[in-house]
Structure 1
Amino acid sequence: MKATVKWLGEELFMGTSESGHTLVLDANGGALAPSPLENVLLSLGGCSSVDVVSILKKTRQQVSNCVVEITGTRVDTVPKLFSDIHLRFVITGTDVEAKHVERAVALSADKYCSVALMLAGKVNISHDFKIINA
C-alpha cells in the first residue's frame, strides 16, 4: 500500500491514496479540514465501524444504523500524543441483542481493526455501546 501527501500552501496538505482517493488535511488545528490527528480518530472509528457492522450482520442482527462517537485525550507535552481514546458505538435496529454487540465491539478492538491494533501499544483504547430500538 502506498500514498502521497502534497503541500497545498499555508498549512493545508492533500493526501492521495494508491487507489486514487484524496483528502485534505489542515495542520492548523483543523480550521479548514481535519487535522492529521483528527484523521487518526476518524480512521479508527471507520475501521472499527466496518468490523462491528459486518460482525452484527453475520449474526443476523437487524441493524439499521451504526454511529461511533470517538473521544481522544492528548498529553500536555510535545509531541501531543493521544493517551486515551474512547469509542462509543450507538447501534440502532430491531431486536438487536446486547451480547452480539458486545462481542462485535470486542472482536473489532482485540482482533480485527488494524488501526486499533496499531495504536493499542501506545494508547489506552476503551469502548462501550448503546442500543436504540427502532
Structure 2
Amino acid sequence: MSGEIKLIARKAGDAGFIARGKSGHWSLMDAGKDIGAMSPFEMLFSSLAGCSGYDVMLVLRKKRVEFDDLWISIEADRAEEHPRVATRIHLHFTVVGDNVPPETVERAIALSQEKYCSVSAMISKAAPIETSFEIIDRDEARRRNPMDFFS
C-alpha cells in the first residue's frame, strides 16, 4: 500500500496520544483528560466541521458572497453499548454577515455534504447527518459567543 494518507500516533501520558501526519503537523488526543486535549471522537467531529466548513466557505467565496464569519456546531447521539458509534449527527452552520442570500448558503451546504466533503461521505455511511443553518448580522454576532454552545 502506497498510503496517500500517512500518520503515526504515539502514547502520551496515561490516556493520551500525540499524532503526526505526513504534513508534519501534530495533534493531541486525550481519552482521559490527562493532557487536556480533545477525545478521539471529538477529533473525528472536528474533522467533519472543518471539512464541511471549508467547502461551504469556498462555495460562498466563489459565489462572491460577503460574510464575516462561519461557525459550525455539531451535536451527535451515540449508541449506549460498545462500540459507542454515532447514531445521529447534526451540523448547524451559522453564517455571520449582512445581506447573505439564504439560497446560496443552502446550496453551499448541500454541495459540501453531497459532493465535496470526504469526511462527511465516510461518516454518513455509519450515521445519518442532518444539517441546518442560520444567517445572523454583525450586531447579533457581537452579542453571541460561539463558545456559549457548551452552556
Partner secondary structure for residue 60 of structure 2: helix
- Aligned match of 1:109: 113
Please give the alpha-carbon distance, in whole angstroms, between the structure 1 residues aligned to 2:52 and 2:60. 12
Give TM-score scaled by structure 1 length. 0.96
Root-mean-square deviation over aligned CA pairs: 1.3
User: Number of paired residues?
Assistant: 134
Query: Which letter maps to 1:46?
Result: G
Give TM-score scaled by structure 2 length. 0.85
- Aligned match of 1:55: 59
Please give the alpha-carbon distance, in whole angstroms, between the structure 2 residues aligned to 1:87 and 1:47. 12
Percent identical pairs in the alignment equals: 36
Q: Which protein has the bigger strand share?
A: 1
Please give the alpha-carbon distance, in whole angstroms, between the structure 2 residues aligned to 1:125 and 1:29. 28
Please say which of residues 69-78 and 27-36 is displaced more in the overlay: 27-36
Instruction: Show structure 1 runs of 5+ residues with no match.
Output: none
Instruction: Show structure 2 runs of 5+ residues with no match.
Output: 139-151
Q: CA deviation at 1:8?
A: 1.5
Indicate how the Cα distance of structure 1 residues 93 and 48 shifts in structure 2: closer, same or farther if over 3 A, else same.
Answer: same
Indicate how the Cα distance of structure 1 residues 29 and 116 shifts in structure 2: closer, same or farther if over 3 A, else same.
Answer: farther
Paired residues of 2:15 and 2:33 also in contact (CA < 8 A): no
Q: Does 1:64 align with 2:68?
A: yes
Q: Write out aligned runs for 1:89-100 (5 A).
A: 89-100=93-104
Q: Write out aligned runs for 1:1-134 (5 A).
A: 1-28=5-32, 32-134=36-138
Provide Cα deviations, 1:89-124, integer angstroms capped at 9, x if missing partner. Answer: 000112100000000001101110010000111111
Provide Cα deviations, 1:67-102, integer angstroms capped at 9, x if missing partner. Answer: 001101101010000011100000011210000000
